[in-house]
């Protein structure tokens, strides 16, 4: 699989109007860089972070063995087929699963919060700069 080339006319329609073969003037160049920045910040990077969130979700769930424990919930502890084995097996899973699910949800919420902060960082920074200019 060949890596997808980014920031080309073929991969991004935003660059279809970027014709700098002629003499580029400063305003067109500035508008091009602003469009390029917004496309990168609000489209490419959130998609990248969502793909990473999916991968982190798989890795954390695999490391915590949440799906395996749900599948084998009624399997006795150490495959010891007695009442004590079933009791300990279910008890250990009942104690471990809430902790594992809490860890998983904490990590997923933290990653989603980072994506949210990424998206709203430029407008908030601009607002704070404007507020600081007018409040002296």
Quote the pLDDT of residue 73: 85
Q: Under 8 Å CB-to-CB from 90, ≥6 apart: which residues?
A: 73, 74
Domain edges within the chain: 13-134
Please, is 108 exposed, middle or buried when counting C-beta atoms within 10 Å of its C-beta (0-12, 13-18, 19+)? Answer: middle
Quote the pLDDT of residue 115: 93
Decide if 17 contacts 34 (C-beta within 8 A).
Answer: no
Quote the pLDDT of residue 107: 96
Quote the pLDDT of residue 61: 93
Q: b/e string for 33-60 if b means 16 or more Cβ within 10 A?
A: eeeeeebeeeeeeeeebeeebeebeeeb
Quote the pLDDT of residue 4: 58
d(CA 65, CA 67): 6
Quote the pLDDT of residue 72: 87
Quote the pLDDT of residue 64: 93
- What does the pLDDT profile of the chain (136 residues) look like in tens digits? 555 555 555 566 555 555 656 666 788 788 888 888 888 899 989 999 999 999 999 999 999 999 998 898 888 888 788 888 888 888 999 999 999 999 999 999 999 999 999 999 999 999 999 999 988 6
């Amino acid at each position: 699989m060949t890596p997808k080339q980014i920031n080309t006319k073929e991969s991004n329609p935003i660059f279809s109007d970027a014709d700098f073969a002629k003499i580029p003037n400063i305003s067109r160049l500035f508008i091009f860089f602003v469009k390029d920045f917004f496309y990168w910040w609000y489209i490419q990077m959130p998609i990248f972070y969502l793909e990473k969130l999916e991968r982190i979700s798989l890795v954390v769930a695999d490391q915590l063995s949440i799906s395996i424990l749900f599948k084998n919930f009624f399997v006795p502890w150490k495959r010891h087929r007695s009442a004590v084995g079933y009791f300990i097996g279910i008890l250990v899973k009942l104690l471990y699963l809430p902790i594992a699910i809490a860890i998983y949800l904490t990590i997923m919420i933290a990653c989603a919060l980072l994506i949210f902060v990424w998206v709203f960082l430029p407008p908030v920074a601009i607002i704070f700069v404007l507020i600081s200019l007018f409040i002296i």
